[in-house]
A and B are shown apart, each in its own frame.
Chain A
């Protein structure tokens, strides 16, 4: 059992790119008790997701990357898969009533990426939290929901 699980976990870590979808598939035989603490993913603000969690988990990188080229080279803005909107919606409030930056492990992206050990390059350049005036709660995003603790459901 151990050897099987070790190799599965290793395959999962190696295949963490693209997205966790493959990792989930790899772990489906075992369930979530591998001894590694599962990440705590804070729920996004607002009432609507851009797309299903499963789709986003698997494909968010591809969607972002395709859109970024469109934005950079053709100036097409405001489409769905905007990193800025991701950051705005998925901002996690810190103890000082401002959203945390990517330096904090509580950051939405980090909560998964730390677990999957996949480096995030985006926030070297992109702002990892919304501008003041755009914090969650600044706008009425249809009854701001409290940040709830969510756990990855590993089938």
Chain B
């Protein structure tokens, strides 16, 4: 984010402060971002209200919001990998040709019911549970749940014990097995720490939506929807209220933030 030099001048004494000029600038940026990102949202829900605009600078996240995803499997194609490619590109998940140890934040899982013969394909990523077992077991508290429901790894505190990887029922977490360089500035990741889908916090905080959702809308089947589950006016809330949706391993009582429709 390229802050105005003018506003920096005002703050040279070291006091971060709100500045109306900055606020309106940010509003303009957010509006521009919203317009650029809108096609991804519109493809799925015409006239839908997108996720909330960027919070004002200096304002912390709050529990009034809970970010979630809704994925309609009727629109999810077995051969399509747009969400995965978008995630890799957005977060700089360079593979090293070692599938056993390379990180995967989102993956397509193909399931087949041997009794009925039904086959489906679905993207699986960190489910951003309301009661995350990975947060419970982390000895340093590096694995934590943000107030707005996004589960993250604070890599400053992560000691790489991999207990969270053992605890996650969705196999959502990866361990970085090698030294990395040229990471994306908005997605820091490093050797010896554990990582998983961040729901593109850097985008969400700026008022956007995750890269996978955007790519699915733009280039894929338009199966993914992102939004605020606590806002009754948001598209996602309306949809989960109007038809049945499923959570993976709902029996574990973790209340994931990612819901699926038509998961048989």
> Which residues on A are within 8 Å of B, measured CB to CB?
46-51, 55, 68, 70, 72-80, 82, 84-85, 87, 101, 103, 124-131, 134, 139, 141-142
Would you call A76 and B59 a contact (CB within 8 A)?
A: yes
Q: Complex Cα distance A128/B182, Å?
A: 7
Query: Which residues in chain B, 178-205, are within 8 Å of chain A measured between CB atoms?
Result: 179-186, 188-193, 201-202, 205
Q: Using Cβ atoms and an 8 Å threshold, which residues of chain B touch A46?
A: 5
Q: Does B232 contact A (CB under 8 A)?
A: no
Q: Does B78 contact A (CB under 8 A)?
A: no
Most buried by A among B144, B155, B185: B185
Q: Using Cβ atoms and an 8 Å threshold, which residues of chain A touch B55?
A: 75
Would you call A76 and B188 a contact (CB within 8 A)?
A: no
Q: Complex Cα distance A49/B11, Å?
A: 10
Q: Does B148 contact A (CB under 8 A)?
A: yes
Binary flags per residue of B53-78, CB closer than 8 Å to A gives 1, else 0: 00101111100000000000000000
Q: Using Cβ atoms and an 8 Å threshold, which residues of chain A touch B144?
A: 73
Would you call A76 and B58 a contact (CB within 8 A)?
A: yes
Would you call B190 and A125 a contact (CB within 8 A)?
A: yes
Would you call B8 and A72 a contact (CB within 8 A)?
A: no
Q: Using Cβ atoms and an 8 Å threshold, which residues of chain B touch A75?
A: 55, 60-61, 146, 148, 201, 205
Would you call A48 and B201 a contact (CB within 8 A)?
A: no
Total count of chain B residues near the partner, CB < 8 A:
43
Q: Complex Cα distance A72/B205, Å?
A: 11
Q: Using Cβ atoms and an 8 Å threshold, which residues of chain B touch A103?
A: 181
Q: Does B166 contact A (CB under 8 A)?
A: no
Would you call B193 and A125 a contact (CB within 8 A)?
A: yes
Q: Using Cβ atoms and an 8 Å threshold, which residues of chain B touch A73?
A: 144, 146, 154
Q: Using Cβ atoms and an 8 Å threshold, which residues of chain A touch B96?
A: none
CB distance from B229 to the nearest CB of A (A): 17
Would you call A127 and B183 a contact (CB within 8 A)?
A: yes
A-B contact pairs, 10 of them (CB 8 A): A48-B12, A68-B156, A72-B154, A72-B156, A76-B58, A78-B1, A82-B1, A101-B182, A124-B180, A128-B181
Q: Complex Cα distance A47/B6, Å?
A: 11
Query: Of the candidates A72, A74, A101, A124, which one forms a contact with B190 in the assembled complex, judged by CB atoms under 8 Å apart?
Result: A124
Chain B, interface SS category:
loop
Q: Complex Cα distance A73/B147, Å?
A: 8
Q: Using Cβ atoms and an 8 Å threshold, which residues of chain A touch B205?
A: 75, 77
Q: A126-B185, A131-B184 are in contact. List 18 more A-B contacts (CB 8 A).
A: A48-B8, A51-B12, A70-B60, A74-B60, A74-B146, A74-B147, A75-B60, A76-B57, A76-B59, A79-B57, A124-B192, A125-B155, A125-B180, A125-B189, A127-B183, A127-B184, A127-B185, A131-B185
Q: Using Cβ atoms and an 8 Å threshold, which residues of chain A touch B184?
A: 127, 131
Q: Does B2 contact A (CB under 8 A)?
A: yes
Q: Complex Cα distance A70/B57, Å?
A: 12
Most buried by A among B26, B58, B148: B58
Q: Using Cβ atoms and an 8 Å threshold, which residues of chain B touch A127?
A: 182-185, 188
Q: Using Cβ atoms and an 8 Å threshold, which residues of chain B touch A50?
A: 8, 12
Most buried by B among A82, A103, A125, A141: A125
Q: Complex Cα distance A134/B184, Å?
A: 12
Q: Complex Cα distance A23/B148, Å?
A: 43
Q: Complex Cα distance A87/B59, Å?
A: 24
Would you call B1 and A77 a contact (CB within 8 A)?
A: yes
Binary flags per residue of B139-164, CB closer than 8 Å to A gives 1, else 0: 00000101110001011100000000
Identity of the chain B residue whose Cβ is nearest the Cβ of A55 in the assembled complex: B14
Would you call B3 and A78 a contact (CB within 8 A)?
A: yes
Identity of the chain A residue whose Cβ is nearest the Cβ of B158 in the assembled complex: A125
Would you call A87 and B154 a contact (CB within 8 A)?
A: no
Contact (A84, B185) CB under 8 Å given A75-B146, A75-B201:
yes
Q: Complex Cα distance A87/B148, Å?
A: 29
Q: Does B16 contact A (CB under 8 A)?
A: yes
